[in-house]
Structure 1
Amino acid sequence: MAFIRTAAPGAISYVNEGHVFEPNLKQEFWSPNYEHLLSIKRRYDPTNLFRVLHGVGSDT
């Protein structure tokens, strides 16, 4: 992953193609949209019932 980050700094990846242990998943998968997506997630799924490994709100 370090080689790819060096070759394409600031690039993001598609969530289904990401590394399982990505340490910075919010930035890597969702970029600046994460906080907005999280607010939508909390509005429509307040109990966090629909949760996936790298999904929005998965770290809460």
Structure 2
Amino acid sequence: MNRPAARSSRRPVRSYGDVPTIVDCVRDRLLVLPGATVVHTGHGDTTTVAAEAPQLWACLDRGF
């Protein structure tokens, strides 16, 4: 009998659609890196932390 693989207890469950969680993650994990750090988004062009930081702050100013 084939059973589905057990989920690893070390892998956290994430809520990818939760905007506050995403913003917190970007702010707390990415924006603390040096500005020249290259980011491969997986859904667009390669960028850097410094290039994207102002966009996050603009989103926060709009109330996200």
More helix by share: 1
More strand by share: 2
Give TM-score scaled by structure 2 length. 0.28
Give TM-score scaled by structure 1 length. 0.29
